[in-house]
Structure 1
């Protein structure tokens, strides 16, 4: 469990550009190294035939996505690549191996709600830290978080973004690597904090989670990101489906109060957010992405099944900020199917797991929050190149590893078909 505790705790504390000094460069970030260690531990445990521990069914999704990525890596080598392109392809595989390791380890050893709540609580604390850093950046107290927490044995593998200007306001990245990543990741963690606010074991923990959720909801707009706003709407709406009516109304009332308070107390921020949404069609950042679409579609038609590999990055002038489209062109329909398996399959399994659990139970709520987060990430991928950022990539695997908590299993890891009836009788 120590590896998982460290990974979930450090996820929103250390930005993706901060790595250990040495030859590993971006592969030397603490989170990636923990993931690689987790992968080794899972593999070593699986090879122990005399004492094999079967993970929850969600492990099949993580392994399937890894297989898709390895296949895309192999087909990319059918093209002639430069040294930097080859290194980039290799890094993209290693980060998935690392994320898969964390997902598999969680799916193997986190087998009850108490352990899951510890990990979710670490994510919640990290989210509050991220917003606190964002607030300091917004008021001009600090700039790049990686420069503040940098130690003698750490280095930044890419220049930190820090605070940037958007329409005259400080646009923050908190403890992440970009404002988009900041807003999207916080929006994905929010349903988990709502879950803790309802189902944490102690009253103090529930109140703390509720206060943290309010802080996160207040902090998301500081990223001034349309992607973040869209994601928080999606994740909150999906989470409401899995809550009791009384809890739904509580969330809606608090959300409405925050919105009204924002209009009264921070009209400039609300005005800029409204302008970003209502005038998006004339935004230069969006127009720059759309201008590339015609050439991108032409590339897809050249190799629809396996994609164009490194040729995609060479011929794309600007950043697409669309992970679905970028994957479709770079890795083809096969690569896009891998994304569907990871995000769509993970969300579907979380929803199915929730449907097999008693209404109002904490396990049902947790799986609903995981479904909301994975669906939100899938929607955000249409407006944000999520897999270009470490924390936006890892959040998918950190959520995936907890899917299926509370669904009883047989010794071979398969769901127990009699579980719904038994749980219903116990609930009654």
Structure 2
């Protein structure tokens, strides 16, 4: 039997390196810098995602190329791709104008790139140590993104203006420092495409950052991990965004669900002190964010979203079941909706909305199964941190057009892939392992309430 090519035999090593390269490109290069002539899909990180999908496909077609056993993420990603391919076919069957067909083609390319990210993470990570390294790099880059945002907000330096990459050019004007809450009151986007994406991405990563801060074992680890968590947390309010505020609130509630009461009290005290300190250092920021919720009746952005409902319903009623086609909604041709669920309703109809909702919900339960039955406290806590990402992403998708934003999608698919890797590395998602009771040394994960309903359990 002929020996397999080295690229296939060592594909997991290649995947791990490419995933790190993907994160570096995604977070460090401003979102609007693209390869010339390729439009929004021309970000270098998208090319890495396509390469990962290619490698995964080669491994899939060879014997023993992929890890054996059930891998739910393959089904989740397969569902998302099938849904988009179906919508793509629906659009071309309808007959798309050139501008819409080009948009649909770009969306399909981007879909395949995101699939490559999730599949390579789920099947290409070979150990818990490697998974932790990948996620800690994600945390570190999110912390750096928060730092860049803080430097922009305080007016010290706008680093993004000085980033120039040979071969890349702006697909649109680089987003500058905006204003919200009054003249001279800044809101920032760091290296993200928009202020909202900046805040929401940091909110999605913060639970993962807290996980690694909690489980630091050395003084050096504690310093760096808490510093990264602090930069992420500080960056969120600088986006001056309702979406980010709702996202971080949901993320922390979902994490608090599994913490023992003592940990909840500690988190509440630390959070309260942090809020007071932040208000003292940056007065006015939290008041501006509070006003976003208390003055919704006079907020033009909220009123515009409400006014667009009739427009959305008119377009949806033209093709209510199947929609107009995946990726065919072009903002320049129609109008900005600031709501991905509206966009999905128009592009995919009722079937599209149901399909996308399933895509968000199923990964949550995959991660929750590890939280309930994981082999150790650290695996169970990491599973819950990852489980927060899809619900937070779903909530945020109802407040801005999230699928248009590459960093948002990248974090979402990395998290979904990490769930698959943890499922596999923890022993097939715990299988029929009983619900795990918290041990005497478990500080961060309480015994599941369901354990009281299921009868006696045992700790492994």
TM-score, with normalisation over the residues of structure 1?
A: 0.91
Q: Which moved more, 1:317-326 or 1:386-395?
A: 317-326
Aligned to 2:381: 365
Aligned to 2:247: 231
For residue 420 of structure 1, report the CA deviation from its aligned partner: 4.2
Aligned to 1:48: 62
What is the aligned counterpart of 1:57 among 72, 82, 93? 72
What is the aligned counterpart of 2:162 among 138, 148, 152? 148
Residues paired across the two proteins, number: 423
Question: Structure 2 stretches of 5 or more lacking a match?
Answer: 1-15, 439-456
Task: Please give the alpha-carbon distance, in whole angstroms, between the structure 2 residues aligned to 1:50 and 1:274.
Answer: 55
Q: Which moved more, 1:8-17 or 1:27-36?
A: 8-17
Sort the Cα spacing of 1:414 and 1:259 in 2 relative to 1 into closer, same or farther, 3 A. closer
Sort the Cα spacing of 1:206 and 1:314 in 2 relative to 1 into closer, same or farther, 3 A. closer
Task: Please give the alpha-carbon distance, in whole angstroms, between the structure 2 residues aligned to 1:357 and 1:415.
Answer: 7
Tell me, yes or no, if the aligned pair for 1:289 and 1:318 is still in contact at 8 Å. no
Aligned to 1:131: 146
| CA deviation string 1:13-32 (max 9, x = no partner) | 22321223x43343331210
- SS of 2:320's equivalent in the other structure is coil
For residue 315 of structure 1, report the CA deviation from its aligned partner: 10
Residue 113 (structure 2) pairs with residue 113 (structure 1): no
Sort the Cα spacing of 1:362 and 1:416 in 2 relative to 1 into closer, same or farther, 3 A. closer
For residue 408 of structure 1, report the CA deviation from its aligned partner: 5.4
For residue 325 of structure 1, report the CA deviation from its aligned partner: 1.8
Sort the Cα spacing of 1:39 and 1:312 in 2 relative to 1 into closer, same or farther, 3 A. closer
Sort the Cα spacing of 1:322 and 1:111 in 2 relative to 1 into closer, same or farther, 3 A. same
- SS of 1:58's equivalent in the other structure is helix
Matches within 5 A, 1:342-421: 342-358=359-375, 361-407=377-423, 415=429, 417-420=431-434
RMSD: 2.6
Aligned to 1:85: 100
For residue 11 of structure 1, report the CA deviation from its aligned partner: 2.8
| CA deviation string 1:312-338 (max 9, x = no partner) | 547986421111121012211221123
Tell me, yes or no, if the aligned pair for 1:350 and 1:403 is still in contact at 8 Å. yes
Residue 103 (structure 2) pairs with residue 100 (structure 1): no
| CA deviation string 1:205-254 (max 9, x = no partner) | 23322222122212211110000000000011101223344433332222
Tell me, yes or no, if the aligned pair for 1:33 and 1:98 is still in contact at 8 Å. yes
Tell me, yes or no, if the aligned pair for 2:187 and 2:238 is still in contact at 8 Å. yes
Task: Please give the alpha-carbon distance, in whole angstroms, between the structure 2 residues aligned to 1:37 and 1:423.
Answer: 42
Task: Please give the alpha-carbon distance, in whole angstroms, between the structure 2 residues aligned to 1:342 and 1:248.
Answer: 30
Aligned to 1:288: 304
| CA deviation string 1:169-207 (max 9, x = no partner) | 111001111100000000000000011011245442233
What is the aligned counterpart of 2:202 among 186, 196, 204? 186
Task: Please give the alpha-carbon distance, in whole angstroms, between the structure 1 residues aligned to 2:316 and 2:234.
Answer: 40
TM-score, with normalisation over the residues of structure 2?
A: 0.85
Q: Which moved more, 1:186-195 or 1:276-285?
A: 276-285
Aligned to 1:164: 178
Residue 377 (structure 2) pairs with residue 337 (structure 1): no
What is the aligned counterpart of 2:224 among 184, 194, 208? 208
Task: Please give the alpha-carbon distance, in whole angstroms, between the structure 1 residues aligned to 2:418 and 2:66.
Answer: 20
For residue 165 of structure 1, report the CA deviation from its aligned partner: 1.4
- SS of 2:110's equivalent in the other structure is helix
Aligned to 2:452: none
Tell me, yes or no, if the aligned pair for 1:17 and 1:157 is still in contact at 8 Å. yes
Sort the Cα spacing of 1:112 and 1:248 in 2 relative to 1 into closer, same or farther, 3 A. farther
Structure 1 runs (4+) deviating above 6 angstroms are 421-426
Task: Please give the alpha-carbon distance, in whole angstroms, between the structure 2 residues aligned to 1:426 and 1:107.
Answer: 28
Aligned to 2:5: none
Tell me, yes or no, if the aligned pair for 2:128 and 2:425 is still in contact at 8 Å. no
Residue 30 (structure 2) pairs with residue 28 (structure 1): no
